[in-house]
Amino acid sequence: SQQGEEDPQALSIQEGENATMNCSYKTSINNLQWYRQNSGRGLVHLILIRSNEREKHSGRLRVTLDTSKKSSSLLITASRAADTASYFCATDEAGGGNKLTFGTGTQLKVEL
């Protein structure tokens, strides 16, 4: 079963614009992770936010976490064509022994 539901399923923006993706999940977590997947390739880790953190930055990425609403968002600022990929959130469930469960993903297309 999928732990997270991501919204939107697909997003198309122009280069230079910001892209926001949302993730909702169901259970208590130790941390929440965001991954990127280029077509036909493996997943690459982007950022990890722990359950006691509310916001985290890494370069052009900004992640927020609201554990009371069981939701997270990923913001990519000043997007580039190279950011075109699928983005997934994944939750490390509390008490789950490091079990990592992925969401449904957002397909981002950045056009020139």
Partner 1 sequence: EAGVAQSPRYKIIEKRQSVAFWCNPISGHATLYWYQQILGQGPKLLIQFQNNGVVDDSQLPKDRFSAERLKGVDSTLKIQPAKLEDSAVYLCASSLPRQWAFFGQGTRLTVV
Q: How many CB atoms lie within 10 A of CB 55?
A: 10
Q: Which residue has tokens 């493996």? A: 42
Our finding on whether 23 is near partner 1 (CB under 8 A) is: no
CB distance 26 to 78 below 8 Å: no
Token pair belonging to 53: 């953190």
Our finding on whether 41 is near partner 1 (CB under 8 A) is: yes
Our finding on whether 71 is near partner 1 (CB under 8 A) is: no
Instruction: Determine which residue in the list 19, 83, 105, 108 makes contact with partner 1, applying CB under 8 A.
Output: 105
Pick the stretch among 12-20, 60-68, 72-80, 98-106 that binds partner 1 (CB under 8 A). 98-106
Our finding on whether 95 is near partner 1 (CB under 8 A) is: no
- Pick the closest to residue 71 from 86, 56, 54 (CA basis): 54
**How is 17-31 classified by DSSP, letter by letter?**
S-EEEEEE--S-EEE
CB of 51 to partner 1, least distance (A): 11
Cβ nearer to partner 1, comparing 79 with 101: 101
Spatial distance between the Cα atoms of 46 and 95, rounded to a whole number of angstroms? 24
Our finding on whether 26 is near partner 1 (CB under 8 A) is: no
Side chain identity, residue 38: N
Binding site for partner 1 (CB under 8 A): 1-2, 4, 30-31, 33, 35, 40-45, 48, 88, 90, 92, 96-105
